[in-house]
Amino acid sequence: MSKLVIWTVNLDKKKSRSRGRKIPRRFAVPNVKLQEIVDACRDLGIEVQVERDKKHPRCWWEESGRVVIKKEFIKEHTKTKLMIEISKRILESRKTKTKHKK
pTM, whole model, 2 decimals?
Answer: 0.85
| pLDDT surpasses 60 at 17 | yes
User: Which uninterrupted H or E stretch holds 50?
Assistant: strand 48-51
Q: What is the pLDDT of residue 56?
A: 83
CATH number at residue 61: 3.30.56.30
Query: Where in the sequence is the domain holding 55, given as residue range(s)?
Result: 3-101
> Which residue, 2, 23, 18, 30, is CA-closest to 90?
30
How many structural domains does the chain have? 1
Average pLDDT rounded to a whole number, residues 49-76: 82
N- to C-terminal Cα distance for the chain?
46
> Which residue, 100, 97, 48, is CA-closest to 72?
48
- Listed in sequence order, the residues at least 6 apart from 56 whose beta carbon sits closer than 8 Å to its beta carbon are 7, 8, 9, 20, 62, 64, 66
